[in-house]
Amino acid sequence: MATRGKWFVRRPETRLLVALFLRFYRWFIFGTLLLKHDTRLLRLMRSDEPVIFAVWHQDFVFTFGYLSRWNARRKTYPLASSSRDGGMANAAAEGMGYRTAIRGSSARDGRKALLQLTRLLQSDPHASVAVVCDGPRPPARELKPGILHLAQVSGRPIWLVRTSFKNVVDLPRTWAQFHLPLPFKRGVCFADGPIHVPANASREGLETIRLEVEARLNRLADRADAAAGAM
């Protein structure tokens, strides 16, 4: 069954259908929702500055969808897990204009993926990366340290991003507590950054930064959720 699933997501016809559906869905979501934009994030996205985007698993589908609006001018690589679900996420990301995903996670092939990303960022001065910082397993909203290593060795700043919507449907059986926005509802996209990781940071220093970044992304998520709920 797993082999059949991999075969299905790799087929060109599947990827074409995924691309068509996702581009329509992206237009529908961001074209019909009255979205409040973060002006600092807009300035960043309209520039050529390469960065590392950090999001929580809870909202990554819609946050990646929002960021993908600039993929035609920004070279961004997502990090996807090595699982079958990661293969489907990779197909979805490519359908929205992201570059070929780097496969791996903290649960599987993590070091290999981290090495690939490190080499990519060192060899391509224009490349950005989008990382789901708490996947692919619980606990939710707990930052994994890999993103700090990428920022440290590449010199790229980290930008935290969160999309939240008014009147969402919660999916409580998912470990990340996914939010599903209803059509025609208002929403926000907030950001926090840039966050620079010193090249000479020690292991203890990186742990301090990890806790700080985790807290900032949680505060950003709470602030966006509150702003969307008050609309």
Dump pLDDT digits (tens) for 81-107: 554 544 556 666 776 778 776 755 554
Average pLDDT over residues 146-154: 93
Is the preceding peptide bond at 78 cis, omega within 30 degrees of 0? no
Give the pLDDT score at 1.
45
The DSSP letter of residue 69 is G
Average pLDDT over residues 5-15: 55
Give the pLDDT score at 154.
93
Q: What are phi and psi of 165, to 5 degrees?
A: -135, 155
- Whether pLDDT at 115 is above 80: yes
pTM: 0.83
- Whether pLDDT at 196 is above 60: yes
Give the pLDDT score at 149.
92
Q: How far apart are CA 75 and CA 169, in angstroms?
A: 32
Give the pLDDT score at 31.
64
Give the pLDDT score at 110.
60
| Closest among 212, 53, 61, 47 to 143, alpha carbons compared | 212
- Whether pLDDT at 7 is above 50: no
Sign of CA dihedral 182, 184, 185, 187: positive
Kindly list the domain boundaries of the chain, sorted by start residue: 2-229
Residue type, 158: I
Residues ≥6 apart with Cβ < 8 Å to 63: 55, 161, 162, 163, 189
